[in-house]
Amino acid sequence: MTTGRRTMTIAEAARALGISRSHAAECIRRDGHLAGVPAISVGRRRVLSRQAVLDVTAARREPVANSGRRVA
């Protein structure tokens, strides 16, 4: 995804997040955002900030710090 566009479609965002397009569209309809990234209305279209979606996907890949708890 190395295009010069600053936004991405719902389908592109869903693909990046590993969810279905219909689930992504439903989240946006219901909540106005997808994984904390607000949807932007452009005419009748809804798009999302490419950088914000990529930040969310990068944060999901970062290892979670060890809480120090023992697992049984």
Q: What is the pTM of this model?
A: 0.76
40 close to 49: Cβ distance less than 8 angstroms: yes
Whether the per-residue pLDDT at 69 is higher than 70: the answer is no
- The reported pLDDT for the residue numbered 5 is 93
Residues 26-54 have pLDDT tens digits of 999 999 999 999 999 999 999 999 999 99
- The reported pLDDT for the residue numbered 61 is 80
What's the rounded Cα separation, in Å, for the pair 50 and 6?
5
Whether the per-residue pLDDT at 1 is higher than 80: the answer is no
Residues in the chain: 72
